[in-house]
Structure 1
Amino acid sequence: MPFLLFSKIFLLSLLVDRTAEATTFKPNCTLPPPNTNFVASPSTRGTLSILWNCLSIIILCTWNIQHLNIPARRPYYNSTGRKNGWLINAWWGFLDTRTTLWWMVLTILAPEYIMGRAVSERLAAASSLATLKSRFGDEMEMVHAYVMNMGGYYLDFSEVGFFGVDVLEISKSNPSGMSSTAVDYSGVHFTPKLDKGFSQSVGNASRTLKPIHEGEVKGQHSSIVMEKTTLPDPVSKSNIESNANLKSNKVSNTDLRSVPRGKSIPASPATYSDKPKSMAPISTFQAINLERFKHEAWALTALQLLRAKDFHLFKLLPSVSSQDLESMTNTDFLAKLIAVTQVIWLMIQLLVRHQNGILSSQMEIATLAFAVCSMVTYIIHWDRPRGITTRYEIKATKAPNEDQILALATFGPGYLWTWHRSQGDKDESLNLIPIPNDASHAVYVGNLFAGSDNVVTRTLMAWFSLNHPAVVSVIAGSVMGGTLFGSIHCLAWNFNFPTHLELILWRVSSVLSTILPPLSVYFNLQWSHYNAWAENEETLMARRIHGIVLLVFFGLPYILARLFLVFEIFWTLFFLPQEAFIDTWPGGFLLWG
C-alpha cells in the first residue's frame, strides 16, 4: 500500500509540474498555387497523428485476433410465435458485439493472456487429433478438433428421456473460489504411466481408472493413449452425501439426479465393485462443468466426446468435412488486410527512422509490441475457425449414469477464473449452455512428441503431471507472450524522457515485464519439486505462503510495471523531442487516421 500511494503521488506531481509548462504549436503551411495537381504531405507530423495512427493499429489488431467460441443462438421468433423485429435483432447484435468488445479490451490490457489461450487451444487440438482419427476416421482434421472445443458438437438426450442433471448444491473444493497460482490442484491430474494407463487424482484421493471390459483393447483417450478403454471408479450419491458432513473437506450436499420426468439415472454398470470407497470432494472445475449439464443438450469438447464414445452414449458423429467447417469461417478480410498493412508500414517506418537516426515515440514502440503479439497470436490461430455460429447435433443412444456424468465433468475444460462465475447465456433454441470463452482444454505432451524421449519432453510431461493440464498450457503460453511483449519495450531503452527518473523507471519496468513471467514459472517448478505440494499433501499454510510469495515478488511488481508503461506511453507524447516530429517517407503513405 505505501508503494501504491507513493506511485500515485509521484504521477500526480508529474502532472502538476508539467501542465504548467505545456505549450502548443500549430504548423502553418503555405497553400499551394492554383492549378496544382499534387500536394505532398508535410515534412512534419503532429501529436494527434502519432496517437491516432498507433491507436488505429492497436484497435484493428485486437479486434481481428478474436477467435471466440460458438455463442448462444439468439431466438428467431418471439413468445407469440412471430418473427422478431429489427429492433430486437439490433439489440441481440449489440449483445453479441459486447462480448467481442469485452475480449478486445482484455486483449489490450493483457495481450499475453490472449496468446496463452491461443497456444493452449492449438496444443489441445493437436494432442487430441491422433486419437480423433483413430476413433472417428482419418477425415478428422485440426479444424474438427478446434470446432469440438468451441462447442460445435452437442449431444442431444431428448429422445432417450433424459432432460438434464439436477445439481441442487455444489460446494467447490476450494471454498474461496480462487485457486492458488490460477491452477485448481483439486482437479484432475493427467499422469503418464509405463503401461499407458490413465491415473486420476481428485483432491487427496488418487485412484487408477478400471476398464469397462477386460477384453476390450485399443481404446484411446484424447489426453492419454490407453491400451484399454477405462472408466472412473464408482461414485454413489450416498458417498457424496456422506462427505457433505465432513467439515474438513467443506463440501455440501451435491445431488446429481437427472430429472427425466420422473425417471432416475440408470444404475452403475455391473462391472464396478460394490465395495464402499471414500469419495473425494467435487473439484471447482467439475462443479463449473456440471452446471452445463443441467439441460437436455450438452455442448462437449473433443476430450468429452471421446469419453462419451467410450460410454456408448452415441454411435456416430455427424459427417462434416473440413472444407465445410472452414467455409463457415466469418472473417472480414478487408479489416485483416488493413491491419496487416498498417503493422507492416509501422515496422518500415520505425526501421527507416532508426536508420536515419531520427527518434520515434514510446507510443510507437508499445504499438509495435501489440502488433507483434497480435501477429504471433493470429499465426497460432491459423487453423482455428472464426465467427462460426452453427452447431452439429449428435443423437444420444442412452442416458448417462452418475459415474459417467461425473467423468464427463472431470474431463471437461479448466478455467483460470473460478470466482463468482455466471452460468452464461443459454441457447434457448437448442436448450444448452455454450462452452465459455475462457475454457482451456487438457494437453498431453506425450501425444505432441510421440516417440521423442529427451530432457525437454520429460520436463514438460513432469510439469503437466504436477498441475492441471487444462490450464498449465495457458500459463505457459502467457509466459511466452509476456516475455515477448515486455522485451519489445526495451527498444526504447535510450529514448528521450521528460526526466531521468522516468527513463530509469521505463528501463526497470521493461526488464521486469520481460523476466518476471519466466521467473515465476521457475519458482513454481522449484516449489513443486521441493514442497510436499507435489504429492497433494500441501498444508493450508504452505498454500498461503506460496500465494503471498507469488503476489509480492511476481504478481504485484509485474502489474505495477505494466501500469507504468501504459501511463508513460501517453505521458511522453506531450514531451517528445523536436526531431520526433520529423516525418519520413513511409509516413506519407497508408495513414488511415
Structure 2
Amino acid sequence: MFFSSPFCQFALFYLVYYTPVQAFTVFSPECSQPTTTYNFVSGPDTRGTLEILWSSLFTIFACTWAIQHPNIPEQRDGRYPGWTDDIRWGLKGLWENIKLAFYTVVAPEVIITVATNDLLMAREDCHVINADFEHDNVPWGLSHSFYANMGGFVIRVTKGSSDTLFHHNPYHLVTADLLSLRRNGYLKRLPYMAEEQLLDRSKADPVIKAIAIAQILWSVFQIIVRAFRHLTISLLELATVAFAVCAIIIYILCWKKPKFVQTTITVLEYTDEIPLEVLRLLDADRGTSIVKQFLIPSRFRSSSRRRAESIPGSPVGNQTSQWAQSMRVRSIVTSAVGLGAAAVFGAVHVAGWNFAFPTTVEKVAWQCASLYTTGFVLVAASGFALATFAGRVLGKEGKSVVRLGMSLVMWVYLFARLFILVEIFRTLFFLAPDAHVSTWASDIPHFS
C-alpha cells in the first residue's frame, strides 16, 4: 500500500508529531468595495495562503503530469470483459500514471536520465534504419524510433494460451528487434506508418502543452519579480522553480516522442507459438529499472519479481532504460545529463539557505538536505568509479559491497529529497507578512 511506505510514514510523523504546539491563527483581509460604477477595478494587493498553494500545485501538476510520455501499456486484447473489468483496467492505467508522476516529484532527474537515453537511442536507431534500409522506402523519423522503443510494434500469437507461452503475448518489440527480424528475412519490409498516422495515435494536444508551458514560465517569472522587489518567496514557490527547470528539460527531450499512445501495430502473427529461431533473434532484455537498480541491489530483490520482470516480450517499463544496448559514449552522456540535472535541481533549493523557517533545526536540516542533493553528483561519480575499481581488483564480492554502499547513499538522498518535499508545504503556514504582498505579475493570465 502507498500509505504504508516508509516515505509516507516519515512525512506523516514529521507533520503530526514534530510541529511545536501553538495556536492556529487566521488573518482575513478586508478590502473596501467600490461605491459607484468604475470601468476597471484592480485586484487586491495581497495574496492568501491558498492562492500561493493552488498556483504552485497547478504548476507542479503541469511539471509532473502534463509532461508524461509513458510507454505502450499492457494490451487488453478483449480479455477481462465486463464493466467491472473496465473499471479495474482503467484504474490500472491510472495507477501507472500516478507512479510515474510520483517518481517525477521525488526524483525528476531519473525521468530526465531515461528521457536522455531514449532520445540518444532513437537518434542512433533512426540513423541506422535510414542508412541500411533506405531501399524499403519506409518513412522513418525520430517519432517512429520512439514509438518502436516504446513497444509499439508487436508479434501476436492468435490461438496460443497466455498461460502456456514462455513469452508475453503480444510480444512487444523494440527497434533492435525490428532490425534483427528485417536482416534475417522474417520481415520483408520495415513496418510502414506515415507521420500523420503516428501523430493520430498520440494524445499530445498542442494547446494543452502550450498552457502547461505558459503556467510554468509564469511561475518562474513571478518569482523573479518578487526577488527584484525583495519580497519573501515561499519555499513551495522556490521548489516550483526547480520542478519547472526539470519540466522544460523533459519537454525538450520528449518533443518528438508520441504521448499516451495506447495501441500497438502487429508486424508478425503466428498461430500457436513464436518459432524458436525467431525468439533467439529477439532481445529479451528490456533494460534495467533505474529506480530499482540503485535502491535495491539485485540480491535483495524478490526472485518472483525478477522472473516477472524478465518475461520476454513484456511491455517496456516507464522507468526502464536499455543500458544493456547502450554504446559507451551514450552511457557517459546519459549519466552526465542525469547527474547534472540532480545538481541543478538541488542547487535551486540551496537558494533558500537564508529563508525563514519555523525552527532552527529545520533550517539546518534544509541546508544539509539541499547541499547533499546538490553535491550528490560528486558522491555518485565517486561511487561509480569505486565500483569499477573494486570490480577489477576485488572481484564480484568487492563490487557487491560498493553497490550496497551506493544503495544506502541513494536512500539517504531520497530521504533528503523527501524532507525537502515535506518542508516546502509545512513552511507555507509560517511565512513572513511580506510574503502575502502580491505583485503586478499576478495580473498576467495564469491558473491559481
TM range (shorter): 0.7 to 0.9
2:263 alignment partner, one of 390, 409, 425:
390
Contact kept? 1:315, 1:397, Cα under 8 Å: no
1:121 is matched with: 118
Cα 1:543–1:319, aligned 2, differ >3 Å: closer, same or farther? same
Could you state the TM-score of these two structures normalised by the residue count of structure 1? 0.63
CA distance in structure 1 between the partners assigned to 2:395 and 2:187 by the alignment: 40
Task: Specify every segment of 5 or more residues in structure 1 that has no aligned partner in the other structure, as ranges.
Answer: 168-258, 260-290, 427-431, 447-459
Aligned mates of 1:78, 1:482 — CA distance in 2: 42
SS at match of 1:503: helix
> 1:95-134 residue pairs with structure 2 within 5 A?
95-134=92-131
What residue in structure 1 maps to residue 382 of structure 2? 522
* Distance (Å, rounded) in 2 between the aligned partners of 1:97 and 1:384: 20
Answer yes or no: is the 8 Å Cα contact 1:70–1:388 preserved in 2.
Answer: yes
Percent identity over paired residues = 27
Shift of 1:412: 4.1
Whether 1:566 and 2:440 are equivalent positions in the alignment is: no
CA RMSD of superposed structures (Å): 3.5
Task: Please say if residues 65 and 101 of structure 2, whose CA atoms lie closer than 8 Å, have aligned partners that are also in contact.
Answer: yes
Distance 1:412 1:567, change over 3 A: closer
Q: Name the CA distance, whole Å, in 1 between partners of 2:212 and 2:12.
A: 35
Aligned-partner residue type, residue 411 of structure 2: L
1:526–1:433 distance in 2 versus 1, CA, 3 Å? closer
Contact 1:313-1:400 at 8 Å conserved across structures: no
Q: Give the conservation status (yes or no) of the 8 Å contact 1:113–1:477.
A: no
**CA gap 1:151/1:491 in 2 versus in 1, 3 angstroms:** same
Instruction: Give the aligned partner of residue 298 of structure 2.
Output: none
Q: 2:289, 2:317 within 8 Å by CA — same for their partners in 1?
A: no
Out of 203, 208, 222, the residue aligned to residue 349 of structure 1 is 222
The answer for unaligned runs of 5 or more in structure 2 is 1-8, 293-300
Partner of residue 346, structure 2: 486
Match of 2:204 among 328, 331, 347: 331
The one-character-per-residue Cα deviations of 1:60-83 (angstroms, maximum 9, x if unpaired) are 22111111112234456986xxxx
CA separation of 1:14 and 1:521: change in aligned 2, threshold 3 A: same
Contact 1:148 1:300 (8 Å CA) reproduced: yes
CA distance in 1, matches of 2:348, 2:281: 44
For residue 298 of structure 1, report the CA deviation from its aligned partner.
Answer: 1.8
CA contact (8 A) 1:44 1:581 kept: yes
1:155 alignment partner, SS class? strand
> Map of 1:272-287 to 2, 5 A cutoff?
none
Contact 1:482–1:514 under 8 Å retained in 2 = yes
For 2:73, the aligned partner's letter is P
Query: Is the aligned partner of 1:375 residue 2:375?
Result: no
Aligned to 2:322: 441
Amino acid in the other structure paired with 1:59: F
Where does residue 154 of structure 1 map in the other structure?
Answer: 154
User: 1:346–1:368: 8 Å Cα contact kept in structure 2?
Assistant: yes
Aligned residues: 423
Number of the residue aligned with 2:361: 501
Q: Deviations over 1:307-341 (max 9, x none)?
A: 23334332222221234323432123333222212
* Alpha-carbon distance change, 151 to 527 in structure 1, aligned in 2, over 3 angstroms: closer
1:38 paired with 2:37, answer no
Counterpart amino acid of residue 131 in structure 2: S
Change in Cα spacing, 1:35 to 1:90, as seen in structure 2 (3 Å) is farther
Q: Does 1:511 align with 2:366?
A: no
Asked if the contact 1:373–1:485 (Cα under 8 Å) also holds between the matched residues in 2, the reply is: yes
TM-score where L is the length of structure 2: 0.82
Q: How does 1:400-549 map to 2 (within 5 A)?
A: 402=276, 405-410=279-284, 412-416=286-290, 417=292, 419=302, 420=305, 433-442=314-323, 460-461=328-329, 476-528=336-388, 530-531=389-390, 533-534=391-392, 538-540=395-397, 542-549=398-405
Match of 1:178 in 2: none
Q: How far apart are the structure 1 equivalents of 2:163 and 2:18?
A: 58
- The structure whose residues are more often helix, as a share, is 2
